[in-house]
Structure 1
Amino acid sequence: MRLTVLGGCGAWPTAVQACSGYLVEYDGFRLLVDPGYATLPRLLHHHTMDAVDAVLVSHGHPDHCADLNPLLRARGLSDDPPPALPVYAPHGALDAVLALDKPRMLASAYRLHEFAPGDRFALGPFTAHTWLLPHFVPNAGIRLSTPEGVLAYTGDTGPSADIVHLAEGADLFLSEATYVHEVPAADAPYLLTARLAGQYARQAGAARLLLTHLWPGTDPAAAREAAAEFFEQPAGLATPDLVTEITGTAS
């Protein structure tokens, strides 16, 4: 399994970093996870718009799904449209982004498969196991398994014991880390720190930790140092065009 980071910036994109967006590839299948703001240009840096086989969205905030609209436009309005794109998302999560155009305009460009966080389903060559994790809107933590490795991804979440189950023994744990040491009190139930990400990675026995969704302007070194307070392996950062292989024995 291969992960290509398209972006990992929280809330809004910067001049050098798109919002959350990850391309996960296995056995010739390309799964786009969370096409947030400004991720489509990064995707097109690596592949053509018709190279994506399916899309999986953790929740309905636009920094995780807004660029689904231009992706569907690029596919549906092309001279030779590719087959309808399977799109998986929690119930109602994509209502706003799919309403940006007239209902019939892109209707043939996608097939929507809605699920409830907690569901488990096959998605191409992946087994997707989801958890409902606490956020401002319903958010699905996602565990993608293949016979050769496991990727666990939090989406956006606050503290939860279920994060340990999500990331248990994962070969790569992709965790939101909006803040470094402390989340403002009003948002504390709904977001994580890099320190907490390191703590959960250690409790889960994850092999590697990749921090993502850092607030714009966050010092990357400070985030890594905070994660290292609990997680002994060096924590990586989800930076544009980072490519990493995910292999191991987790399942």
Structure 2
Amino acid sequence: MRLTVLGGCGAWPTADQACAGYLAEHAGFRLFVDPGYATFPRLLRHAPAASVDAVLISHGHPDHCAGLNPLLRARALADDPPPALPVYAPHGALDAVLTLDRPGMLAAAYRLHSFRPGDRLRIGPFTAETRLLPHHVPNAGIRLSAAGSVLAYTGDTGPSPDIAHLAEGADVLLSEATYARRVPAADAPYLLTAELAGRYARQAGAARLLLTHLWPGSDPAAALEAAGETFTRPAGVAVADLVLDF
């Protein structure tokens, strides 16, 4: 499996970093996970719009799904439109994004597959086991596997023992880490620290930790330092164009 990071900024994109966006590839199949704000131009550095085989979305916040609109526009308005794109998302998560254009304009460009966090999905060569994790809206943690390789992705989440279960023995845990060490009280049930991400990665026995969804302007070195207090295996921060093969 190959993972290409298209962005990893929380809440809104910065001049240098798009929001959540990850391209998972195996056996020639391209799965676009969480097309957040500003990820579509980053995608085009690695693959044309028509080459995406499916999209998988963890939850309906726009920093995780707003980039679906330009992807669908690029496919629908092409001179030779590709087949309808399978899009997998929790029930109702894409209601706002799919109504940005006039009714019917993009209808032929996608085929929506709604699921409930907890469902098991088969997407091309990938198996996606999903798990409900705590956030402001229903959020699906995703355990993506293919040919023995495992990527665990939290989406956006607050503290939960289910994170360690989701990532058990994973090659990579791609974990929400909005703050380094302390989440403001109002958001504490819904977001993670890098320190906690490290703890869950250690409990899971994950081989590698990749921190994502850092708050705009925060210091990646501080996040890595916090994670390193609880996780001693390789760790990094999700930045655009980072590629991992595992």
User: One fold, TM greater than 0.5?
Assistant: yes
Q: CA deviation at 1:234?
A: 3.2
Question: Within the alignment, does 1:69 sit opposite 2:69 as a pair?
Answer: yes
Match of 2:151 in 1: 151
Query: Which residue of structure 1 aligns with residue 198 of structure 2?
Result: 198
Residue aligning to 2:82:
82
Q: Distance in 2 between matches of 1:17 and 1:106?
A: 28
Helix, strand or coil: the match of 2:240? Answer: coil
Q: Contact 2:171–2:206 at 8 Å: present in 1 too? A: yes
Task: Name the aligned partner's letter for residue 213 of structure 1.
Answer: H
Name the SS of the counterpart of 2:89 in structure 1.
Answer: strand
What residue in structure 2 maps to residue 249 of structure 1?
none
Cα drift, residue 221 of structure 1:
0.6
After superposition, where does 1:56-205 map in structure 2 within 5 Å? 56-205=56-205
Query: What letter corresponds to residue 164 of structure 2 in structure 1?
Result: V
Structure 2 portions without partners, runs of 5+: none
Q: Counterpart of 2:47 in structure 1: which amino acid? A: H
How much has 1:103 moved relative to structure 2?
2.3
Check conservation: 1:198, 1:209, Cα contact below 8 A.
Answer: yes
CA distance in 2, matches of 1:236, 1:199: 15
- Cα distance between partner residues in 1 of 2:177 and 2:61: 16
* Partner SS for 1:64: helix
Matched, 1:242 2:242: yes
Aligned to 2:17: 17
Letter in 1 for 2:166: L
Q: How far apart, CA to CA, are the structure 2 residues paired with 1:153 and 1:122? A: 16
Checking the alignment, whether the CA contact within 8 Å between 2:40 and 2:71 is kept in structure 1 is yes
3-state SS, counterpart of residue 95 of structure 1: coil
Structure 2 length as normaliser, TM-score? 0.99
Identity over aligned residues, as a percent?
78
* 1:66-97 per-position Cα deviation (integer Å, ceiling 9, x unaligned): 01001000000111100000000000000000
Map 1:205-216 → 2, pairs under 5 A: 205-216=205-216
4+ residue stretches of structure 1 with deviation over 2 A?
A: none
Q: Distance in 2 between matches of 1:193 and 1:217?
A: 15
CA contact (8 A) 1:224 1:234 kept: no
Q: Which residue of 1 aligns with 2:29?
A: 29
How far the C-alpha of 1:148 sits from its partner, in A, is 3.0
Greater shift after overlay, 95-104 or 189-198?
A: 95-104
**CA distance in 2 between partners of 1:220 and 1:233 (Å):** 17
Q: Which residue of 2 aligns with 1:3?
A: 3
For 2:165 and 2:233, how far apart are their aligned partners in 1? 20
Instruction: Give the secondary structure class of the aligned counterpart of 2:31.
Output: strand
Cα distance in 1 for residues equivalent to 2:146 and 2:6:
22
Give SS of 1:45's match: coil
For 1:169 and 1:88, the matched residues in 2 are separated by 25
Q: How far did residue 235 of structure 1 move?
A: 1.4
Alignment deviations for residues 191-224 of structure 1 (CA, whole Å, 9 cap, x no partner) = 0000000000000110100000000011111000
Q: Structure 2 CA distance, aligned partners of 1:160 and 1:110? A: 33
Number of paired residues?
Answer: 246
Distance apart, 1:233 and its partner CA: 1.4
User: How big is the alpha-carbon RMSD for the aligned residues of Structure 1 and Structure 2?
Assistant: 0.6
Residue 221 of structure 2: SS of its match in structure 1?
Answer: helix
1:51 corresponds to 2:51: yes
2-structure distance, mates of 1:86, 1:43 = 17
